[in-house]
Structure 1
Amino acid sequence: MAVVLITGMSGAGKSTALAGLAGAGFETVDTDGPGWIERVDGEPLWRPERIDEALDRPRTGPLILLGTVANQGSWAHRFDAVVLLTAPVEVLVRRLHDRLPGEFGAAEGDRAQVAEDTAEVEPRLRAMATHVVDTSGDPADVVAALVAIVEEVAG
């Protein structure tokens, strides 16, 4: 069964897209959730045993993972598609500004970091991506584009 990774910078709409895909009946895993990530020298990395377990378990349909970590490329050979969700930096920062206090992005320093990371990290994500989806428009259109990608790679 197909495995699709959805990745992108904070504020790109990954969580919104994943919720839409789950609502459409797809099996989804948000690896930003508790237990999926460990910090090694300050760097967030996937816990290999958790990712391997998710990828190895029996499925009846496609699996969609969401996440952006430095070691995600270690599983690139296991992904049938890697979808980069992207938007202009101004859109990312505006979305982060609207987050609740205590959430990543709500603080000015977080938003400045995302702006810096977009210039440095997003090109590496783009190089790994098989598909790129601009999320600056209607979230329903983003979910529709993702459904089409998942269906394409799932055959």
Structure 2
Amino acid sequence: MSGTGKSTVLRVLAAKGYATVDTDTDEWCEWVTDDRGHRDWVWRPQAINKLLDEHEDLFVAGCKSNQGEFYPRFDKVVLLRARAEVMLQRIEERGDNPYGKSAEERALVLEHLQVVEPLLRASADHEIDTSGPLDDVVDRLEQLAGY
């Protein structure tokens, strides 16, 4: 979910020496047209499978409609979540990602919070509220990973 702090958390984990991959790029994702004719940016199965084949200990971040297909390959699936106002503030303040700056995209973020987040919650092994201190979120992820 956009604005939950995935990229920020990955940057901190990487700075601590952990292997991390933010899949929100063209390297890992591609645009497809679903059965209803809607465009969807999904994980590239071949690229994600290769990534997971090559790395045993890895923090992966992403939020794609086809990610559940890969859940059996992960030790743990963690939902990072934040309150709507926190997500929107982060999106507004970030300078490294243009997504969410328009009124239409912000409305879509709020829609995803209502529609997509419950689906993610139902399939996650753990949930972390990222509204608090960043160090607490990173510490919790390290604990979940057994570090």
| TM-score, scaled relative to structure 2 | 0.91
Aligned pairs, how many? 142
Partners in 2 of 1:100 and 1:65 — Cα distance?
A: 22
1:28 match: 20
Partners in 1 of 2:141 and 2:31 — Cα distance?
A: 29
1:4 match: none
**Given residue 77 of structure 1, which amino acid in structure 2 is its aligned partner?**
P
Q: Per the alignment, do residues 81 and 102 of structure 1 end up closer, same or farther by CA in structure 2, a change over 3 Å counting?
A: closer
Residue 59 (structure 2) pairs with residue 64 (structure 1): yes
1:48-127 mapped onto 2 (5 Å cutoff): 48-57=45-54, 59=56, 62-100=57-95, 103-127=98-122
1:46-67 deviations in whole A, cap 9, x for unaligned?
00110010011154xx111110
1:139 match: 134
2:29 match: 37
Structure 1 residue runs of 5 or longer lacking an equivalent are: 1-8
Q: What's the C-alpha RMSD, in Å, of the aligned pairs?
A: 1.5
**Given residue 26 of structure 1, which amino acid in structure 2 is its aligned partner?**
Y
**Given residue 21 of structure 2, which amino acid in structure 1 is its aligned partner?**
V
1:89-124 deviations in whole A, cap 9, x for unaligned?
111111112133971012222111100111000001
Partners in 2 of 1:67 and 1:32 — Cα distance?
A: 6
**Given residue 106 of structure 1, which amino acid in structure 2 is its aligned partner?**
K
Partners in 1 of 2:55 and 2:95 — Cα distance?
A: 37
Query: 3-state SS of the aligned residue for 1:39?
Result: strand
**Given residue 52 of structure 1, which amino acid in structure 2 is its aligned partner?**
N
Greater share of strand: 1
**Given residue 101 of structure 2, which amino acid in structure 1 is its aligned partner?**
A
2:144 match: 149
**Given residue 147 of structure 1, which amino acid in structure 2 is its aligned partner?**
E
Residue 10 (structure 2) pairs with residue 13 (structure 1): no
Q: Per the alignment, do residues 58 and 113 of structure 1 end up closer, same or farther by CA in structure 2, a change over 3 Å counting?
A: closer
% of aligned pairs identical? 44
Bigger relative CO (Cα 8 Å, ≥ 6 apart):
1
